[in-house]
Structure 1
């Protein structure tokens, strides 16, 4: 692999790592348009109890009363460091996440999850084509997402 190819791969890994890391602060700030922009136009966000099949549906989720209630009370969507694998214009990232919510003066973990991102390079940079999140509840589905670490 040439030095240029190695540099491109490193730049891609950093860009994807930044994309994944930006989700928590943006969603907790209620930045619906910026959160939605992390996906392609028809990008999918598939969470256990919620399926969003487009950028517009991700935007609507952030603007929803349920989400606004979370951030209005204080919460933190924290995604751990992502393991990123790149192959040309396609990539995957795998990480774990924690949703912390405030109830009164206390903060509680409301959800822990396994996350798998499928990404594509676009003219505007890397975007998510599909993010699948499953609760880390001992299920095979969640373990399967984590086992995809390093595999495209």
Structure 2
């Protein structure tokens, strides 16, 4: 017979695994939906008032409507028509009850029509802040920062890891 404490611990572990899988699916669904032109589906992973902070110098897109509108803009539509792939790495997820934080790399691969070759166009550090709403996970905020000579991407990763792993993380 399984002790009540053992069963509760097992249930908690199973819920954590299920939460990580749900968050992984949510994060990894965005790129394929955006590239397929399914703007509503791609935007549906955000809270109604969630933020997509995609540019350190630009205003964030607000909520599902803002993300969907961005995906329907001419620049984004042109990217998808010319050949582009939004690729996220598997997320590093930290759960905290009904909230979670995840880190990924975001790679945007583009087709060079002249040569017929694909190349890495953008590489970003990404922080995902997520919340559980009504049993499902949603993006509260996604913050992208380029991994370039501005150091913004490295700083985003460093600050998040220190926050999640402790101030003395080295």
What residue number does 2:117 align with? 106
When the two structures are superposed, what TM-score results if normalisation uses the length of structure 2? 0.84
Gapped regions of structure 2 (runs ≥ 5): 1-7, 166-170
3-state SS in 1 of match to 2:122: strand
What residue number does 2:130 align with? 119
Structure with the largest fraction of strand? 1
Q: How many residues align?
A: 152
Alpha-carbon contact 1:94-1:145 (below 8 Å) kept:
no
Q: What is the 5 A alignment of 1:37-76?
A: 37-48=44-55, 49=58, 51-76=60-85
Distance, in Å, in 2 between the alignment partners of 1:44 and 1:17 is 19
What residue number does 1:144 align with? 155
When the two structures are superposed, what TM-score results if normalisation uses the length of structure 1? 0.94
TM-aligned CA deviation for residue 124 of structure 1: 5.5
Structure number with bigger Rg: 2
What residue number does 1:85 align with? 94
Name which structure has the greater RCO, CA cutoff 8 Å, separation 6+: 1
TM-aligned CA deviation for residue 107 of structure 1: 1.3
Give me the CA root mean square deviation.
Answer: 1.6
Alpha-carbon contact 1:95-1:146 (below 8 Å) kept:
no
Distance, in Å, in 2 between the alignment partners of 1:123 and 1:129 is 14
